[in-house]
Structure 1
């Protein structure tokens, strides 16, 4: 059973190490996405020189045949040229596609972080439960064996279970022959070790809550750089529509970073408080069960 517990802990450690590597790769790939998007923006930029309009006559040329000379009013009933007519309305873009396009590489990283956050929250919520950490059936059976003075059976029962309270009770019974104080110290050591293991799993939620706003802030800075680059490369005052891409990138990435970070920090605080409360309950239950040996050791 000890080999099974060790194997399970090694697999859990390997899983969370893989999650750490994923977060590290996500952060390291961010500069690559910045460079690729910067090159794409430069390729799509309009050239500095513009050709003259089709209906604009070059300087020094006579007006074309049938064209009224300067200063004369157009003929009555004459139709206006098609070039001067209203431009066709551009196709409207949905809000979702606009958000995806504006977020770019930063949005992809934050989307992956959101999936990872949901997986971590579900895994911790399912594991940090009273029935998993302090099974009522185990506590009742353990107390019954102690009442029947079947101490070896109580030790085997605690040793065969993988719950929090069972590990603490097994550690106390294993050191009971050295004295009650040694048994209590052994239970405290195992309790602190289990508490640290659960908080270690929760620390990845805190990590996501810390780096998600930073990735959003990086997208904010990058979007403002795009807007200022448009202003710098424009010979005249740029239109608001030309600055909209950079500003939308800045705002959307900030929103997405906060959307990922806020739930991560909320669930981290709630689950950490639950771990502290359950650890205290395990300590109280184990001490109440082992307290009967304190008088016999004196």
Structure 2
């Protein structure tokens, strides 16, 4: 275990001054992605129409999620027979609408900035390499040619390692967010319009 820790420390030291910001960016990125995963829980596998029908029948959902929370709020407002119900629903659903968008901008910023930080480390490493070439020093106190090339490659690798998984996961979460926003709009439509009872056809 200690060998692994020593290798990781050596890896980060080889990356130079760009590695601490990249490490912080990694921690913040995955914390915010985890938060969004929890915030985007749907709460039910049923369609919005079925959820409304079951709620009217008194069958309450057991799982907690975005749609179940907004449905409970919407049903309470609907039972009050308020005029212009949609306006009240917009206000009631605003908290969940903001919650599912939370940290979206921060995640996008980190995903975009991480490769640029890696590029900054690459440029710094190449500058050190060319300085060492001028002195013809393969190894020196500052790293020399080998240290400069190592820093350039490590920071590029780290920047991409932070950005690519974050980009993929964030894309999946964005798609889930858009789906939830559409389903929330459908819930508003179902709650605002009277839902007729479906009577069995007689021969």
For normalisation by structure 1, the TM-score amounts to: 0.50
Higher Cα Rg, which structure: 1
Is the Cα–Cα contact under 8 Å of residues 128 and 144 in structure 2 kept in the other structure? no
For residues 1-298 of structure 1, what are the structure 2 equivalents within 5 Å?
Answer: 96=8, 98-131=10-43, 142-144=55-57, 163-170=69-76, 176-178=81-83, 182-188=84-90, 190-191=92-93, 194-232=96-134, 234=135, 237-239=136-138, 242-292=144-194
**How many angstroms apart in 1 are the aligned matches of 2:40 and 2:12?**
36
Unaligned runs of 5+ in 1: 1-93, 146-161
Query: RMSD of the alignment, in Å?
Result: 3.6
**How many angstroms apart in 1 are the aligned matches of 2:123 and 2:74?**
51
Unaligned runs of 5+ in 2: 1-5, 59-67, 197-203
Change (3 A) 1:168 1:289: closer
- Corresponding residue of 2:62: none
**How many angstroms apart in 2 are the aligned matches of 1:253 and 1:228?**
17
Is the Cα–Cα contact under 8 Å of residues 171 and 186 in structure 1 kept in the other structure? yes
Is the Cα–Cα contact under 8 Å of residues 212 and 260 in structure 1 kept in the other structure? yes
Is the Cα–Cα contact under 8 Å of residues 195 and 279 in structure 1 kept in the other structure? yes
**How many angstroms apart in 2 are the aligned matches of 1:275 and 1:170?**
24
Change (3 A) 1:104 1:252: same
Larger RCO (CA under 8 A, 6+ residues apart): 2
Equivalenced residue count is 180
**How many angstroms apart in 1 are the aligned matches of 2:34 and 2:121?**
28
